[in-house]
Amino acid sequence: MGDRWYSEAVVYCLDVDTYADSDGDGVGDFRGLIGRLDYLARLGVTCLWLNPIHPSPNQDDGYDATDFYNVDPRLGTLGDFAELLHQAQNRGIRVIIDLVVNHTSDQHPWFQSARSSPDSPYRDWYVWADHAPADRHQGMVFPGEQHETWTYDRTAKAWYYHRFYEFQPDLNIENPKVRAEIKKITSFWLQLGVSGFRMDAVPFIIEQTEPGNPNAPKDFDFLTDLRQHVQWRRGDAVLLAEANVEPDQLPVYFGDGSGSGNRIHMLFDFMLNGRLMLALAREDPETIVDALRDTPKLPTGGQWATFLRNHDEIDLSRLTADQRNDVLAKFGPDESMQLYGRGIRRRLAPMLGNDRRHIELAYALQFSLRGTPVLRYGEEIGMGENLALDGRNAIRTPMQWSYKENAGFSTADPEKLIRPVIDQGDFGYQKVNVTAQRGDSKSLLAWFERMIRTLREAPEIGSGSTSHIDVPMPAGVLAHRADGPTGTMVFLHNLGTEDVEVDLSTLAAEADLPIDVLTDRGYGDVGKLDRLKLGGHGYRWIRLCRSTASY
């Protein structure tokens, strides 16, 4: 294990309210999650990322908080949450929570006070304009559902800024009191025992909004300041940020350029996500090769978080129109599968036609690429989506635990469930559930367990350096390697459907008892690495050499 836990973590993202319901009210809760920690431990997860857990009117699935110092009573009490932290820790599992401080709910007492009077002590906690800002119809995050970024509030008799939905007024980061409060919020949860935060919407948090200026400057110093604070309060705490910006803008999120990583520890690799989707759609690894080559160099301690699916739509906005069309044509051809004109609201298994080989290939690829893998709940059993639900809710259906009614998620009357379980077709819980896969050594779940176990023995992926192996390859095949003091791993992934043979004999001199450690099928001995067979959608993780050195 390297020095920093997050470099070799396996992060599992879940929404407590759709995971496991312990009291039969139709909403998942902390006690339900505690009851599933053994499952997560067996899967090999080392860190949970919980989607927002605060009290909220839930107009944006909790990304609209009304109290940052409490938990949504539907999920349990703060006591239950503390118990969850304890129980997770007993199993070596850390917990990070969403920190959603770009905005609050408009029902938050701060906003209620702010709008009530210009003299409110909270007035300056939000961003106001006296007159309609010229850029009010620019910069919407949810085109189609959101029509402006400034809305007139009749009570306040002023316009307030909201980068997201109109019920999510932006906090005013330029107000020192807001900064102090954000730090206090992090202190509170760190004191309770969380290992860090998934920071929501970071580019917007640090935006120094000015009415009429759609390109407001950003205050990166706040990130330095917050990092200092968080790290002082808990030395091994981590900040994992959502910053979906152009690659050349990313380095300043990690550090101030002095060479030290003094801001965010980990960023989601949105660029890679889009490119992975494109590579899978075109059966051509070229864009992944580009991604490996173009990735900005990170300061020490900086790390990517890789993902295929999360709780939002797959965002294809950074691909060219041609590229985007190819992905949509393959994975989201029906308009009902698309969202905001830029993304796909589906889970991976249905996107890949529920083709087991293809699903394994995609996840083997993600988990072998540089960075820390993040896995969305339900993906490990190949859950599907429900397109009859609105927007992103299509991929936020309850976890499918068993053959029992409500997929074993809850004993409530089905009418009372937070969201309906998927109960029809190939992805219905009758076919896709944990119980069915738990005892089946050939199941997707068993495969994930094995793959994650294999990852544990390959610290080079998380802590080492990853590069493309630039030798002639059959069409569709990506060869890459991860190097570190512990040795070298070599990976072959065939994005195409043809069986091929690969020659990696140029690596033979470095090899020391090379051996397959994870494959989609039995391939026999790796020999001299010159005639490596690889089936259509096949993959081979090969340990080239291993030393007893460590990080």
Instruction: List contacts with ligand GLC (CB under 6 A).
Output: 60, 63, 100, 164, 200-201, 242, 311-312
* Whether residue 242 lies in the annotated active site: yes
Pairwise CA distance, residues 456 & 461, whole Å = 9
Residue 173: which of 217, 138, 137 has the closest Cα?
Answer: 217
Judged by beta carbon, residue 162 or residue 275, the one nearer ligand GLC is 162
Pairwise CA distance, residues 504 & 79, whole Å = 56
Amino acid at 451: M
Q: How far is the CB of 392 from ligand GLC (least distance, A)?
A: 7
Task: Count CB atoms within 10 A of the CB of residue 509.
Answer: 6
Judged by beta carbon, residue 4 or residue 376, the one nearer ligand GLC is 376
Catalytic residue, chosen from 200, 380, 449, 460, is 200
Alpha-helical (H) ranges within 138-269 are 176-192, 202-205, 221-233, 251-254
Judge whether 153 and 160 are in contact, CB under 8 Å. Answer: yes
Which residues make Cβ contacts (< 8 Å) with residue 358, sequence separation at least 6?
280, 352, 537
What does the DSSP assignment read for 401-458? --SSGGGGS--S-GGGSSSPPP-SGGGSTTTS-HHHHHT-TTSHHHHHHHHHHHHHT-
Which residues make Cβ contacts (< 8 Å) with residue 157, sequence separation at least 6?
none
* Whether residue 423 lies in the annotated active site: no
Which residues make Cβ contacts (< 8 Å) with residue 325, sequence separation at least 6?
none
User: What 3-state class would DSSP assign to 242?
Assistant: coil
Q: How far is the CB of 52 from ligand GLC (least distance, A)?
A: 8
Pairwise CA distance, residues 80 & 95, whole Å = 14
Taking CB atoms, the residue at the shortest distance from ligand GLC is 63
Catalytic residue, chosen from 17, 29, 61, 242, is 242
Pairwise CA distance, residues 97 & 455, whole Å = 24
Q: How far is CA 14 from the centre of its chain?
A: 10
Judged by beta carbon, residue 226 or residue 452, the one nearer ligand GLC is 226
Q: How far is the CB of 378 from ligand GLC (least distance, A)?
A: 17
Q: How far is the CB of 242 from ligand GLC (least distance, A)?
A: 6
Judged by beta carbon, residue 167 or residue 523, the one nearer ligand GLC is 167
Q: How far is the CB of 63 from ligand GLC (least distance, A)?
A: 3
Q: How far is the CB of 220 from ligand GLC (least distance, A)?
A: 19
Judged by beta carbon, residue 63 or residue 331, the one nearer ligand GLC is 63
Pairwise CA distance, residues 204 & 517, whole Å = 43
Which residues make Cβ contacts (< 8 Å) with residue 314, sequence separation at least 6?
273, 274, 277, 331, 343, 344, 345, 346
Judged by beta carbon, residue 64 or residue 449, the one nearer ligand GLC is 64
Q: How far is the CB of 469 from ligand GLC (least distance, A)?
A: 34
Known catalytic residues?
A: 200, 242
